[in-house]
Structure 1
C-alpha cells in the first residue's frame, strides 16, 4: 500500500522510527508493492544518527567530557525515551540535562547535568529575540528616592543557571580544544548567559548575584532584589552587581516606581 497522505499513514510510519526492534509498518511498501523493510531500516538509522548529531552540536562540552562513545550511547537512550516534538533540530533536547541527572552511567559526574543546562541556555540565548540593551547611564536619570522601586526588563537572551558545582568553569574549559587542567568541581558557581553585541557570553556571577538577578528577572523592584541577595549572602556588593549586569547587557529598560 502506498502513502495516501493521511494522518494514519504518517502515524504508522513514524511509530517505529525510534524503536530499533520494531518491524516496518505494514503500509510501507516499495515499488510494485514489494516489502520496504530494509529501506525503512536505513531511514530509521538516518533519523537516529541525525538526532544524536543534533544533540552533539548542542552539547559539545558534555560530549568532550564524556567522550564520543559514551555521549552517543547516552543520547541514543534519551532519544528513545523523549522523541522530538518540533521539526527544528535546534529545538530538540531541552530535557536532555534532566535526563542526564537520571542516567545511571553518568552518576559519577554529578555536575554534568548543570554543564548541559549552561549549554542549552547558550543556544537558547543565541536564538532569542533581538533587543537593544539598557544604556549605562539609564539609572543616573532616576531620582535617588525612586531607585529602590525601579523594575528592570530582562533582555530576551538573558538566562540564569545555578549550580552547586563549578559548572561555569567546567563548561568554559570544555568549550575549547585546549587541554583542561584539574578543576575543583565542588565549588558552587552560578552562570549568567547574555548576548551583548550579538555574541553569547557565559559569565560567572559574584556572591549573591544569582539571587539578585533572579529577583530582577522575576520583576521584583531593585530594593527588594538587593535585600533578597543580602539576606542570602552578606558579602553581596550591590554597586558591583548592578554595574556588571548593565555592562553585560542583561536588561533592556527600567521602569521608575514611586517611593514607598
Structure 2
C-alpha cells in the first residue's frame, strides 16, 4: 500500500491508525492535528455534495443528508481534484442505502441533479441553421436515413417516480406544491443547457423515445418508429419543433 493511499485512508476514516512518522512543526499532538485536518477535508467534501444535490438534501433534511454523505465519501473517495466530478456514484449509493429505503424516488432525484451538473459543464455547440433543417425535413427520400447530432449538453432521464415534479416543487416560483405531487407517477425529462441556464423539460413518452434514439445515433426513420411504438399518438412535427426551438440539434449526417 502506497504512502499516498495510507494518508488518504487516514484522512477519511477516523478508525484508521495515524500514519507512521507523522510529526508537527510545533511539537503539538499529531493525532489532534490530524483530527482537525480530517474534519476540514470531510466538511469540504460534504459541502461540495450539498451544493450539487440541494433538492436531495431538502427532501431528507440537512442532518440526514450530511450523515449519509459522510458514509458515501468514505466509501467513494474523490478520484479527481475537480469537486464538480465528485458525486457520480451518489445516486446509485442512495438506491442501496438502507436508511433511505423509505424514499424510493430519492436516488432518481439525485440522478436528475447530477445530470444537471453534467449539462452545465458540457461543451458549447451551435445549433443547425433552420434552413438546413428545413431542407433535410423536406427531403422525404433521404430523411429516414438522417442521423441527427444532439447538443453535447443533452441528457435524458427516465424514472418510475415523479422526480421532475418533485425537483420543480423545490424551485423558487414554480407554483408546484410538493404535497400535490403524485410520486408514484412515472416522469421523464430532457436536461440541457440553453445559453447559461440548465433546463429541465418534462417529456412525454414519444419525445422521450425519440430523444433516446437520437442520443444512440439511430437513423431518424427508425427513431420515429420507436417513438410511435412508445406513444401511438406521437406527433413527429411537434417533437422536432421542441428540439429545434431549444437548439438541441447541432448537426446531421445523411446519405449523399
Question: Residue deviations 1:191-211, cap 9 Å, x none?
Answer: 101112231101011222211
Which residue is equivalent to 1:4?
none
SS of residue in 2 equivalent to 1:153: strand
SS of residue in 1 equivalent to 2:15: coil
Please say if residues 129 and 157 of structure 1, whose CA atoms lie closer than 8 Å, have aligned partners that are also in contact.
yes
SS of residue in 1 equivalent to 2:250: strand
Which of 7, 25, 28 lines up with 1:13 in the alignment? Answer: 7
- Offset at residue 156 of structure 1 (A): 1.0
Where in structure 1 do 4 or more consecutive aligned residues deviate above 6 Å? none
Which blocks of at least 5 consecutive residues in structure 1 are unaligned?
Answer: 1-6
Which residue is equivalent to 2:149?
153
CA distance in 2, matches of 1:177, 1:227: 38
SS of residue in 2 equivalent to 1:144: coil
Please say if residues 205 and 230 of structure 2, whose CA atoms lie closer than 8 Å, have aligned partners that are also in contact.
no
Q: Following superposition of structure 1 onto structure 2, how do residues 33-48 of structure 1 map, counting pairs within 5 Å?
A: 35-48=29-42
Which residue is equivalent to 2:185?
187
Mapped pair 1:83 → 2:77 = yes
CA distance in 1, matches of 2:32, 2:201: 49
Q: 1:205 to 1:27 in 2, by over 3 A?
A: same
- Offset at residue 150 of structure 1 (A): 1.1
Question: Residue deviations 1:35-94, cap 9 Å, x none?
Answer: 411111100011111111010000001011111011111111111111110011111010
Q: 1:139 to 1:177 in 2, by over 3 A?
A: closer
Which blocks of at least 5 consecutive residues in structure 2 are unaligned?
Answer: none
Which of 186, 205, 208 lines up with 1:207 in the alignment? Answer: 205
Give the alignment's Cα RMSD to 1 decimal: 1.8
Which of 102, 113, 122 lines up with 1:108 in the alignment? Answer: 102
- Offset at residue 103 of structure 1 (A): 0.8
- Please, what TM-score do these two structures have when normalized by structure 2? 0.92
Report the number of matched residues.
252
- Please, what TM-score do these two structures have when normalized by structure 1? 0.91
- Offset at residue 257 of structure 1 (A): 2.7
CA distance in 1, matches of 2:172, 2:98: 27
- Offset at residue 172 of structure 1 (A): 1.2
- Offset at residue 20 of structure 1 (A): 1.7
SS of residue in 2 equivalent to 1:84: coil
SS of residue in 1 equivalent to 2:141: helix
CA distance in 1, matches of 2:79, 2:173: 32
- Offset at residue 154 of structure 1 (A): 1.4
Please say if residues 9 and 27 of structure 1, whose CA atoms lie closer than 8 Å, have aligned partners that are also in contact.
no
Which of 156, 164, 171 lines up with 1:168 in the alignment? Answer: 164
Q: 1:237 to 1:83 in 2, by over 3 A?
A: same
